[in-house]
Structure 1
């Protein structure tokens, strides 16, 4: 879509004062998908030269905001030697987008949109990611992904501030993972997406709920919980206003699927008794095995 209100495109390497009507341009798949009447100038991040993916000596992985979904997918399939590697492809596939989108859409763009169904939010929240934010004066601050996304479309970003990268700790990449996703339609947007991680170092378990909730919810248990304790923890973490409501699923259905998929994830990673009612044709839930 043409953005007919845009009068200027600037290179982000040129430090210029931020002004009303400015917007960062990464891949542009969202910006050019619908009218943006408030935007007057695009500040292009495409030539910043940030390495898309960097594995640090401590085992952590830094993902640049400008890393594309295609680059992340290839890295997870071919280069990342870690138990959590299959989760990268699973979350990339949750986009249900064409190869053209994969080659342009960026990890940072998906995070900064802050949409509940954003699969890069799901991936980075589940793996305990931390956002590196850069202000106009160059000042840096770090915010956990679970705090960066505050609600549906609401982010912890000041005017002119940008998301520079997301770092996943090495211990999270060493975890076994389990993935579950549900949508109302076979190729529909995620209505509930639940990821579990099991840490071999200390035996802890995390369950992260996205898409069903207005913001990512990450629950950490020092020891694997029973199904009752898990259900109580979800109920305490998400009140009635925390379940998302749109055309892709009513809050009641999203809540039901989140509890159900969380129990499946718990069972898969712990081998404990599972309470999983039969699937219904209307609930296109699907998942991969633990890794």
Structure 2
């Protein structure tokens, strides 16, 4: 879609002062998908030269905001990390076209802040940390689970830039379990629940996304039973936190969340199967 209110496109390397009507341009798959009448200038990150994905000396993985979904998918398929399959599962949760797959970026998905954003799900579940750059050069770090604060809302100040997300080595070494629900075969996620098992202390975290307006990451020391899991979700997620749009009613999203959370609990703790909520 043409953005007929945009008058200029600038290279982000020039570090020009931020002004009203500016927007960072990564892959552009969202920016060019619908009218943006408030925009006047795009600041293009395409030539920043950031390494898409790199393994850090401590075993953690840093993902640049400009890393595309295709690049992340290739990394996940080659990685030997125990949690590597989760990367591909979340990439496939896009159900995207070839064009989106190769242009959409990890940073763009996070900064859109949409409940169904699978990069939000991935980075929140693996205890990721966002690195934010302000216009004055100062840096700020925010947990990925806390970065999105509502549907389309994020903890990002005027002119601030998401530089990267770092996934800690400890999270990448743990077992994971993934569940996704959509109303139809190639539909947007109505509930995306991820469980992770800490390789050091055996604790479990359950991360709720897509069903809720923001991510909820719940931590449990093992063993945890079904009642404790349900009670924790009840306490954390209020009635207003369940998302409501054409892709699923809040009641259905809530039902699928409890069901999948229980399945994940059983999978990660290797308990025998029986009825689930």
Quick one: distance in 1 between partners of 2:142 and 2:266? 31
Aligned to 1:83: 82
SS in structure 2 at match of 1:179: strand
Q: Tell me if structure 1 keeps the 8 A contact 2:203–2:222.
A: yes
Q: Deviations over 1:104-126 (max 9, x none)?
A: 00000000000000000000000
Task: Tell me which stretches of 4 or more aligned residues in structure 1 moved more than 3 Å.
Answer: 273-278
Q: Tell me if structure 1 keeps the 8 A contact 2:125–2:196.
A: yes
Aligned to 1:8: 8
Q: Tell me if structure 2 keeps the 8 A contact 1:227–1:275.
A: no
The 5 A counterparts of 1:64-213 are 64-78=64-78, 80-213=79-212
- Offset of residue 274 of structure 1: 4.5
SS in structure 2 at match of 1:23: strand
Quick one: distance in 1 between partners of 2:21 and 2:2? 16
Where do 5+ consecutive residues of structure 2 fail to align?
none
SS in structure 2 at match of 1:87: helix
- Offset of residue 200 of structure 1: 2.2
Instruction: Give the TM-score, by structure 1 length.
Output: 0.94
SS in structure 1 at match of 2:103: coil
- Offset of residue 161 of structure 1: 0.3
Pairing 1:23–2:23 present: yes
- Offset of residue 277 of structure 1: 4.7
SS in structure 2 at match of 1:36: coil
Structure 1 residues 133 and 34 mapped into 2: Cα distance closer, same or farther (>3 Å)?
A: same
Aligned to 1:270: 269
Structure 1 residues 266 and 277 mapped into 2: Cα distance closer, same or farther (>3 Å)?
A: closer
Quick one: distance in 2 between partners of 1:224 and 1:170? 24
Quick one: distance in 2 between partners of 1:199 and 1:127? 10
SS in structure 2 at match of 1:13: helix
Q: Deviations over 1:1-37 (max 9, x none)?
A: 0000010000000011100000000000000000000
Quick one: distance in 1 between partners of 2:254 and 2:63? 31
Q: Tell me if structure 1 keeps the 8 A contact 2:24–2:42.
A: yes
Where do 5+ consecutive residues of structure 1 fail to align?
279-291
Quick one: distance in 2 between partners of 1:103 and 1:173? 24
- Offset of residue 271 of structure 1: 1.5
Instruction: Give the TM-score, by structure 2 length.
Output: 0.98
SS in structure 2 at match of 1:103: helix
Quick one: distance in 2 between partners of 1:153 and 1:75? 28
